[in-house]
């Protein structure tokens, strides 16, 4: 492994960090990804949570146009021109019977399919640009390059790439600024001065593809968008207009170079250094506004080095490198790489999409039911500043529209949306409109934050959000006169998304989560010495009991053929009743025989081929709380739960790679192993492993 090969180290004096027992730098760098060819599915990335640049083996996007993506770059195609469907207000959704009344759901209406589809497909996240090496010859391919070698230094955020072309070496450094949408590139090669190597900038058009992977956008629809160049002595700005979306790419260079283009009908611009210059440094800034004041190359490298060092030095840490077991080393590898990748792709001012800033899934939108998996680990790993980039601000931004959503359906409080873009609009969909497990999430986030920051400021920052959340939850639960219980659904989809929504009532996980959420909401009011709405208590104390089939939790009450092979598919969310949630603090205690039976039956019967990334950590957490550490490790290293050479979570049969809920839920499970939970501080690793952990926030 290539470890110590970079010119840009700022080596901190060790004495400053004497408090650290673990040699974090050594552990982190032991897992630096190294490549000598591009991957077909994943880039190596530099980035900062809100912006990322994915590169192939050349250190740029030369042969594989991996994406340059942000949290602000979005595009709408033009609205349909079909009569009566030319405005978003022409969408009316569908009415479904809900406990004896018609309720409007945000679902595609076959009579308005054009506007329904438009609302699903728009906006899409934009791949801002492709930047690569331009060779004097046309037919250069990756195979024609020699001595390819590339390393991502996780400790500084630098990618170093080297290759040779026709025997002449090229060396490249790639960096991203820690606080702006800017990349820094340094290139050294004799090929530069002779004019046989330059750097191109190209601009794709977004597509209407639900999944745009591994690459985002198309380069051959050049007449449907516009670019223009304004070049100066040491910098140039390229403006890109795609319908109403426009943004600017400001390129600054030193020493001297010249940019020209566009090339014959394309959106391709080429930067070439001046005669005699064989070393060039670029700063490339992306912004919706013109005239970005971008940091120079040296500033970007310094900021990245400082940010990553402070990231790795702060928060929690696990050192499994003292264990002999290859399983321990693989868990360590996944841990380090997942930490890097979630900081690059998920620590955003909006929740991340499931493919982060690597490529587009679901048009680049994010799912509000997934954000607990995406973000909760930042709290457990004591990286609250990264969590706070989006939470609770995102909930505050979407509060009004979520109150409107609940209101339209005749409920109190705020009904949080599902597949969302930055404006907070939820895309139409049958499942989208009928899932409910995103509703209690704010209560979980708030509670975990309060335990670390038990202050009035914390109480205040969440209070409006929690009040509206609990009001909806209490008002959504339906009082069933014949049983005397409050029911959830129908119609609804449970987390497993594969049941008949009109028959789905009282799903196990959602019921347990409703109780947990209302318990937190009630405690929150008590902490503030304000009165607790009676409805919250009334609903909590009369929730329907958790459904049971064959002495184990069922997906929902009365589900046919529960433990037969046709049913045991998709997310085994019943394992989250005890895996994700603490034992209930109100109502009857969990029947531990049932909890144990549920874990056993899932282990023996569930169709894990049909599972998604986060199911494995969820099952591992359930095993941990049940005291079965070995089973937890088995789930975390399950052959169907894969991470590639650079740590990207493999999508599998159902979604493209990467599927980041796999990474973040993995880190959550590792936090549970290392940091434990209330009453069981841990760590909880196999006995023979020699493990050092520090800095974890215990779980609920």
- Positions that interact with ligand NAG (CB under 6 A): 36, 74-76, 88, 96-97, 122-123, 218, 220-221, 244-245, 423, 456, 480, 482-483, 487, 491, 500-502, 505, 528-529, 551, 557, 565-566, 591, 593-594
Minimum gap (Å) between residue 103 Cβ and ligand NAG? 9
Indicate the residue among 275 and 565 with the shorter CB distance to ligand NAG.
565
């995103």: which residue's tokens? 438
Of the pair 196, 209, the CB lying nearest ligand NAG is at 209
Distance CA 220, CA 166 (A): 30
What count of other Cβ atoms lies within 10 Å of the Cβ of residue 453?
12
CB of 97 to ligand NAG, least distance (A): 4
Contact 400, 417 (CB under 8 A): no
Query: Burial of 193 by CB count in 10 Å (0-12 exposed, 13-18 middle, 19+ buried)?
Result: middle
Which CB atom, from 439 or from 504, has the smaller least distance to ligand NAG?
Answer: 504
Q: Per DSSP, which regions of 288-365 are E strands? A: 317-319, 360-361
Q: Quick one: 264 or 456, whose CB is closer to ligand NAG? A: 456
Q: Residue 244 has which token pair? A: 């109403």
Closer of 586 and 690 to ligand NAG (Cβ): 586
Closest CB 84 distance from ligand NAG, rounded Å: 17
Query: What's the min distance (Å) between Cβ of 264 and ligand NAG?
Result: 15
Cβ proximity to ligand NAG: between 246 and 278 the closer is: 246
Report the C-alpha gap between 488 and 511 in whole angstroms: 7
Least separation in angstroms between CB 608 and ligand NAG: 13
Neighbours of 568 (CB within 10 A): 20
Q: Is residue 233 helix, strand or coil?
A: coil
Partners of 54 in the beta sheet?
45
Q: How far apart are the first and last CA of the chain?
A: 39
CB atoms closer than 10 angstroms to residue 680: 13
Is the Cβ of residue 487 or residue 570 nearer to ligand NAG in the bound state?
Answer: 487
Pairing assessment for the beta strands 360-361 and 124-125 based on DSSP bridges: unpaired
**Smaller CB distance to ligand NAG: residue 298 or 548?**
548
From the CB of 76, what's the least distance to ligand NAG, in Å?
4
Indicate the SS3 state at residue 300. Answer: helix
Cβ–Cβ under 8 Å, residues 590 and 516: no
- Please state the closest distance from residue 565 (CB atom) to ligand NAG, in A: 4
Smallest distance from ligand NAG to CB 244, Å: 5
**Phi-psi sector, 570: left (phi>0), alpha (psi -120 to 50), beta:** left
Q: How many other β-carbons are positioned within 10 Å of the β-carbon of residue 583?
A: 16
Closest separation in Å from C-beta 305 to ligand NAG: 26
**Residue (240 or 281) nearer to ligand NAG, CB:** 240
Structure tokens at 376: 């909760």
With tokens 């321990």, the residue in question is 328
- Distance of closest approach, residue 407 Cβ to ligand NAG, in angstroms: 20
Query: Which residues touch 530 (CB under 8 Å, ≥6 apart)?
Result: none
Helix axes 371-380, 326-345, angle to 10 degrees: 110
Of the pair 50, 122, the CB lying nearest ligand NAG is at 122
């Amino acid at each position: 492994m290539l470890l110590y090969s970079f010119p840009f180290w700022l080596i901190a004096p060790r004495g400053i960090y004497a408090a650290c027992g673990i040699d974090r730098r050594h552990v982190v760098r032991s897992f630096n990804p190294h490549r000598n060819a591009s991957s077909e599915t994943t880039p190596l990335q530099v980035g900062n949570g809100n912006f990322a640049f994915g590169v192939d083996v050349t250190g740029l996007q030369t042969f594989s146009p991996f994406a340059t993506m942000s949290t602000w770059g979005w595009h709408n195609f033009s609205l349909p021109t079909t009569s009566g469907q030319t405005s978003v207000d022409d969408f009316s959704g569908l009415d479904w019977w809900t406990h004896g009344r018609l309720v409007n759901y945000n679902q595609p209406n076959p009579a308005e399919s054009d506007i329904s589809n438009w609302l699903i497909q728009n906006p899409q996240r934009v791949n801002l640009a492709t930047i690569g090496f331009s060779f004097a010859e046309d037919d250069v391919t990756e195979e024609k390059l020699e001595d390819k070698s590339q390393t991502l230094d996780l400790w500084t955020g630098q990618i170093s790439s080297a290759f040779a072309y026709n025997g002449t070496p090229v060396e490249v450094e790639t960096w991203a600024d820690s606080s702006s949408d800017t990349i820094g590139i340094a290139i050294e090669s004799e090929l530069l001065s002779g004019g046989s190597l330059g750097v191109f900038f190209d601009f794709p058009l977004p597509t209407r593809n639900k999944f745009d992977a591994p690459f985002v956008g198309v380069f051959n629809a050049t007449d449907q968008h516009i670019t223009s160049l304004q070049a100066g002595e040491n910098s140039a700005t390229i403006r890109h207009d795609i319908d109403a979306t426009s943004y600017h790419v400001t390129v600054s260079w030193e020493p001297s170079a010249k940019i020209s283009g566009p090339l014959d009908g394309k959106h391709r611009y080429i930067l070439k250094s001046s005669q005699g210059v064989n070393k060039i440094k670029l700063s490339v800034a992306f912004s919706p506004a013109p005239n970005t004041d971008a940091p120079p190359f040296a500033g970007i490298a310094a900021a990245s080095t400082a940010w990553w060092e402070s990231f790795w030095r702060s928060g929690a840490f696990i050192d499994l490198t003292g264990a002999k077991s290859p399983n321990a080393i693989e868990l360590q590898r996944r841990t380090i790489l997942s930490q890097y990748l979630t900081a690059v792709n998920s620590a955003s001012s909006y929740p991340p999409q499931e493919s982060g800033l690597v490529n587009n899934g679901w048009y680049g939108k994010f799912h509000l039911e997934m954000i607990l998996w995406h973000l909760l680990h930042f709290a457990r790993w004591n990286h609250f500043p990264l969590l706070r980039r989006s939470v609770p601000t995102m909930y505050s931004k979407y509060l009004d529209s979520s109150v409107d959503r609940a209101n339209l359906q005749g409920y109190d409080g705020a009904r949080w949306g599902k597949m969302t873009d930055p404006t907070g609009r939820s895309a139409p969909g049958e499942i989208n409109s009928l899932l409910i497990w995103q509703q209690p999430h704010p209560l979980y986030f708030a509670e975990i934050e309060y335990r670390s920051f038990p202050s009035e400021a914390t109480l205040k920052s969440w209070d409006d959000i929690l009040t509206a959340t609990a009001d909806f939850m209490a008002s959504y639960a339906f009082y069933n006169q014949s049983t005397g219980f409050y029911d959830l659904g129908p119609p609804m989809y449970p987390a497993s998304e594969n049941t008949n929504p009109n028959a789905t009532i009282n799903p196990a996980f959602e019921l347990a989560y409703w109780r947990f959420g209302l318990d937190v909401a009630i405690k929150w009011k008590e902490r503030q010495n304000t009165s607790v709405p009676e409805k919250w208590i009334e609903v909590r104390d009369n929730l329907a009991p958790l459904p049971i089939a064959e002495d184990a939790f069922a997906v929902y009450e009365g589900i046919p053929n529960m433990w037969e092979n046709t049913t045991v598919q998709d997310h085994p969310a019943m394992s989250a009743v005890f895996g994700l949630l603490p034992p209930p603090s109100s109502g009857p205690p969990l029947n531990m025989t049932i909890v144990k039976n549920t874990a056993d039956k899932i282990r023996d019967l569930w169709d894990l081929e049909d599972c998604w990334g986060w199911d494995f950590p969820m099952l591992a957490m359930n095993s941990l709380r049940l005291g079965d550490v070995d089973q937890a490790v088995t789930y975390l290293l399950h052959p169907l739960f894969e991470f590639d050479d650079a740590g990207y979570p493999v999508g599998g049969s159902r979604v493209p790679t990467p599927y980041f809920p796999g990474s973040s839920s993995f880190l959550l499970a590792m936090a549970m192993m290392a940091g434990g939970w209330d009453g069981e501080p841990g760590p909880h690793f196999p006995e023979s492993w020699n493990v050092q952990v520090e800095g974890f926030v215990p779980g609920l």
